[in-house]
Amino acid sequence: MRIDIVTIFPEYLDPLRGALLGRAIERGLLNLDVHDLRRWTYDVHKGVDDSPYGGGPGMVMKPQVWGEALDEVCAGEPPRLVVPTPAGRPFTQAMAHEYATESRLVFACGRYEGIDQRVIDDASTRMRVDEVSIGDYVLVGGEVAVMVMVEAVARLLPGVLGNPLSAEQDSFSDGLLEGPSYTRPEVWRDRAVPEVLRSGNHKAIDRWRRDQAIERTFARRPDLLAALPPESLDKHDRAL
């Protein structure tokens, strides 16, 4: 997969080249390019923003600069363009899976009060464009949101995770939060690992894990439990 990111703070995205994603890049599983938006500015001040029509606080990013940048970065086979904004549709694990099947993603990081809407409307005539929010809070700009989304997508690419079962057993993959995990030692500060996990009885372990996932989801995210199709819960689940 190829990912391009356009931003006025390219160095902000440097951490994406470390750890797991850095290895994916080295191994050629992910091709990541970060572009400085100021490359496409056309005045001596390298201006990227201006005051909003209609008045109000903050600044809006200029359409001419973004238009030129996206024309160049999105040239060739049209990519899927993702624009992070608190006014977007919520980003979910299902979207991460969908993005992981794309051959090309372009992320356009806005700052200030956002990007002139005509940039998004114009790009939408040539490619799929998603305005996406990573949660109900407001960040200073789209860079951190892009890091979140790129990490969520990249770990789903074939070969990126050492053990592909890790992605399959994620929280959300079956609509439930994952339950607790334990490792050695068996007893730590007088706290023992639950007996069943040491029993070697895999059927009992699976059942215990499912019970824990349901109880945790009920306590922390009842909205997720309510959204599950009723047939995905068995008799034992419903009795909890």
The contact set with ligand ADE (CB under 6 A) reads 84-86, 133-135, 137-139, 141-142, 145
DSSP 176: S
The owner of tokens 């069943």 is 196
Q: Which is nearer to ligand ADE, 53 or 137 (CB)?
A: 137
Residue among 12 and 214 whose Cβ is closer to ligand ADE: 12
Q: Which CB, 22 or 86, lies closer to ligand ADE?
A: 86
Residue 64 C-beta-side C-alpha neighbours within 13 Å? 8
Which listed residue (36, 38, 86, 104) is catalytic? 86
Catalytic residue, candidates 170, 178, 215, 237: 170
Where b means 16+ CB within 10 Å and e means fewer, 80-107 reads bbbbbbbebeebeeebbeebbeeebbbb
With b for 16 or more beta-carbon neighbours within 10 A and e for fewer, the 16-45 pattern comes to: beeeebeebbeeeebebebbebeebbeeee
155 is catalytic: yes
Active site residue 180: no
Find the shortest distance in angstroms from Cβ 8 to ligand ADE: 13
Strand pairing class (104-108; 80-90)? parallel
Smallest separation, CB 166 to ligand ADE (Å): 26
Q: Report residue 188: phi and psi, to 5°.
A: -140, 125
**Closest to ligand ADE by CB, 40 or 107:** 107
Catalytic: which of 38, 104, 155, 207?
155
Which 3-state string (H, E, C) describes 80-149? Answer: EEEEEEEEEEECCHHHHHHHCCCCEEEEECCCCCCECHHHHHHHCCCCEEEEEECCCCCCCCCHHHHHHH
What is the nearest approach in angstroms of ligand ADE to the Cβ of residue 135? 5
Min CB(102)–ligand ADE separation in Å: 19
Q: Closest approach of Cβ 227 to ligand ADE, in Å?
A: 21
* Cβ proximity to ligand ADE, 79 vs 142, nearer residue: 142
Which residues are tagged catalytic? 86, 113, 155, 170
